[in-house]
Amino acid sequence: MTASTTGSTMKKGSRGAEVSALQGQLNQLGYGLDADGVFGDDTERCVKHLQKAFGYTVDGVVGEGTHFLVNQQAGLNWKSPVTAAKLEEWSVLLKKGSEGEHVRKLQTKLVALGYSIAVDGDFGVGTDRSVRHLQQAFGYTVDGVVGEGTHFLIDQQLSLGWKGGT
């Protein structure tokens, strides 16, 4: 299944068979999308990730250049290191005062990295301190905010078995 390199421009809100074909190709690249023919948030995040990974303008729009990129990478059997679900998780910005299931998941990961904090879904002083420690340990901007970069760092260190919490 290949998308035309001269097909119509697709962006968030686009629908139809061409979007389904694009989603199928993104799945070949490892993104794990629901190929439903609707260019929604997940499809846009995957397109932006691909554009960023290959130095393209990151706009989430699939025009001729991004069509070419998708076709090229599918032909080369390139695989994304992250799935659509992971990109969605990383799109949630967490900081002091945040609450809920996303914070609980973050806290569970921080505990697995060796931090002694409560897993209560409340991004309080302990969670903030742990995030700042982790950011400092790896040379990130120390702001206590968990955006895409810090989410990536946490998942990467979990996969490597790093234990440096306090």
Give the pLDDT confidence score for residue 5 in this predicted structure. Answer: 42
The predicted structure's pLDDT at residue 1: 39
Selection from 40, 163, 26 nearest residue 91 by Cα: 40
> Same structural domain for residues 66 and 113?
no
Tell me, what CATH number does 120's domain have? 1.10.101.10
The reported pTM is 0.75
Is residue 3 in a domain?
Answer: no
In the chain, alpha helices (H):
17-28, 41-53, 64-75, 84-90, 101-112, 125-137, 148-160
Does the structure show a pLDDT above 60 at 4?
no
Domain that holds residue 38: 17-84
Nearest residue to 6 (alpha-carbon basis) of 60, 69, 64, 72: 64
**φ, ψ at 14 (rounded to 5°):** -65, 150
Residues 109 and 152 in one domain: yes
In a domain, 1, yes or no: no
Q: Answer whether residue 96 shows pLDDT above 90.
A: yes
Give the C-alpha separation, 137 to 148, whole Å. 17
Of the residues 55, 84, 113, which one is the last residue of a structural domain?
84
Percent of the chain scoring above 90 in pLDDT: 87
Is 166 part of a structural domain of the chain?
Answer: no
Structural domain contains residue 38: yes
